[in-house]
């Protein structure tokens, strides 16, 4: 914050007499107080609010393709948020982290044995390689209003040792920030899994859907 002396200099630049001259003392004091308020950072809503992990969800959807896709099934993966915060101010932002070792294959249509194999493949070197890249990290670079309780969020996603910009829409509904983003696996150095000679494989594009609650 600027010193009181500098603020007085600003007042003098506006042709205000020094404060010790009684006729203009009240006017000058008012202007100085305004300058003080302008020089302060905006505090209202500037404090970060933590993400309520217990009431927040993030799910990854991986879809099948290929000649024999009818014999396979889509994948549904739970990605619990390890940490996150949202700043609601003149420069709103969001940041969150996901422990890639905690991702879990849900796949209700699959048997326990099949889910275990998919889980192993997902965490292995062929896909996420969680041994080398144990964290997925997102940090926004800009948040643009897009109507009432709607925003377009831009930011950088760290995944599989690579960082790339992504954008997605967010809407506030029933106290939850909801939205989804579509990512290409190849964009982050991941080759989509193929089986049976490529007659069954997963699509390059995956969908990440989220519903985020904030702590009070």
Please check the confidence at residue 34 and state whether its pLDDT lies above 80.
Answer: no
Do 59 and 179 meet the contact criterion of CB atoms below 8 Å apart? no
**Closest listed residue to residue 210, CA positions, set 44, 29, 60:** 60
Residues in the chain: 216
Do 63 and 108 meet the contact criterion of CB atoms below 8 Å apart? no
What's the pLDDT at 44? 33
Token pair in block for residue 108:
């209700």
**Closest listed residue to residue 183, CA positions, set 197, 203, 210, 199:** 203
Please check the confidence at residue 138 and state whether its pLDDT lies above 60.
Answer: yes
The model carries a pTM of 0.75
Tell me which of 47 and 147 has the higher pLDDT. 147
């Amino acid at each position: 914050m600027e010193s009181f002396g500098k603020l007085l200099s600003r007042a003098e630049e506006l042709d205000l007499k020094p404060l010790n001259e009684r006729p203009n003392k009240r006017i000058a004091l008012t202007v100085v107080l305004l300058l003080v308020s302008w020089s302060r950072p905006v505090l209202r809503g500037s404090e970060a609010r933590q993400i309520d992990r217990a009431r927040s969800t993030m799910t990854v959807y991986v879809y099948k393709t290929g000649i024999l896709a009818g014999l396979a099934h889509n994948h549904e993966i739970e990605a619990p948020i390890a940490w996150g915060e949202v700043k609601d101010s003149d420069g709103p932002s969001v940041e969150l982290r996901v422990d890639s070792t905690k991702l879990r294959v849900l796949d209700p249509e699959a048997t326990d044995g099949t889910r275990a194999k998919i889980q192993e493949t997902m965490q292995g070197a062929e896909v996420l390689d969680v041994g080398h890249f144990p964290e997925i990290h997102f940090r926004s670079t800009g948040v643009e209003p897009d109507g009432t309780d709607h925003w377009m969020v831009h930011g950088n996603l760290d995944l599989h040792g690579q960082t790339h910009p992504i954008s997605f829409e967010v809407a506030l509904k029933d106290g939850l920030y909801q939205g989804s983003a579509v990512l290409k696996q190849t964009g982050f150095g991941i080759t989509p899994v193929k089986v049976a000679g490529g007659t069954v494989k997963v699509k390059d594009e995956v969908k990440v859907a989220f519903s985020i609650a904030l702590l009070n």
